[in-house]
Amino acid sequence: MPLGAFETGHARRLDARTLAAFKRLELLAHSVVEGFVTGLHTSPFKGFAIEFDEHRQYVPGDDLKHLDWKILARKDRMYIKQYEEDTSLRAYFVLDTSGSMGYASGRYSKLDIGRIITATMGYLLLNQMDAIGLTTCAEKVELFLPARSTRAHYKRLTDALAATTPRHGTHLAETLHQLALRVKRRALIIIISDLFDDPNSISLALNHFAHRRHEVILFHTLDRRELDFDFEAPTRFEHLEGDDQRAVDPRPLRKAYLRAFEEHRTIIRRTCHDRRIDYQEIVTDEPIERRLARYLIQRMKR
């Protein structure tokens, strides 16, 4: 089980001051967007141009480039493909709220960082007049907000983020499959998770999005100690998605842990590469605003 499913010794809880800070997510998002990407004049996110709508029967004078040749060959009937202009974008954020996302060895937990990413990128998309939605999930879908493009909807989204707390258990792959079926029209899917579920199951879920022609961005959100496993002294580990607690000497475990962790991460990265999914590893001790800005600027240059 990866380290993020556990919490060491001193548990971190959201105090009143921290919770109040999260309630200012819109202000924080505004600051990140205005401070790092203003002036570049190019959107890091683009609509999908046109989307197939329906067929209609051919009439003389129609442009033959829109003729559906498959129907002609199969039924000997002439039909024209009609398309719907779709220059705006629909984006759905998927925020993992399982217990492991509450792990924090420093100032911010992985869930804290997930809130900031969602609020910041949601603000940016809304400023482009794009529609944003939100799904939070642990063992099941906890919340589903459909995509909307109003300020009132953004306020509901940030209020929901501020109120979100880690839950027991995780079934991330199953939730992703459900969302892939639920979102009918092509969309941008932004997943924020530590991915502590079976990596092969997650890969199948990512393939599901690709099969339905969605664009996917994956923010693999991790704590530094999950990457390094730099524990030296005997440590008590508490299972964040169950009731198990164990006091162990971590030093003999480090090599096996790091090998298993890297195997898990390699499977996810390979799937993202094969499916042209943007994979971004986010570590909670890095300045999140700089990390996000660097990624957004990379997208602008494509």
Name the maximum alpha-carbon separation found in the chain: 81
Dig out the tokens for 294 from the structure: 């660097």
Helix (H) or strand (E) holding 174: helix 172-182
Q: In what order do the strands lie in the sheet with 6-8?
A: 6-8, 235-239, 245-248
Split at pLDDT 50, 70, 90, the class of 10 is very low
Local confidence band at 17 (pLDDT 50, 70, 90 cut-offs): very low
The values of phi and psi at residue 178, to 5°, are: -60, -40
Q: How confident is the model at residue 292 (pLDDT cuts 50, 70, 90)?
A: confident
Q: Residue 48's pLDDT band (boundaries 50, 70, 90)?
A: low
Stated length of the chain: 302
Q: What is the mean pLDDT of residues 128-133?
A: 88
CB hemisphere CA count around 101 (13 angstroms): 30
Task: Give yes or no for a contact between 283 and 222, defined as CB atoms under 8 angstroms apart.
Answer: yes
The number of CA neighbours under 13 Å toward the Cβ of 65 is 1
pLDDT of residue 84: 47
* Phi, psi values for residue 18, rounded to 5°: -65, -45
Q: Mean pLDDT over residues 240-251, rounded?
A: 67
Neighbours of 96 (CB within 10 A): 27
Please tell me the distance from the alpha carbon of residue 226 to that of residue 136, in angstroms, as a whole number.
23
Q: Which two tokens stand for residue 75?
A: 């039924």
Dump the DSSP string for 36-100. Answer: HTTT--S-S----SEEEEEEEE--TT--GGGB-HHHHHHHS--EEEEEEE--S-EEEEEEE-BGG
Residues 6+ apart with CB under 8 A from 290: 36
Mean pLDDT of the chain: 79
Q: Is pLDDT larger for residue 261 or for residue 168? A: 261
Residue range 41-45: average pLDDT?
Answer: 58
For the chain, list the domains and their CATH numbers: 3-44+86-300 (3.40.50.410), 50-85 (no CATH)
pLDDT digits (tens, 9 = 90+) for 54-73: 566 766 766 676 677 777 77
Q: Say what the pTM is.
A: 0.76
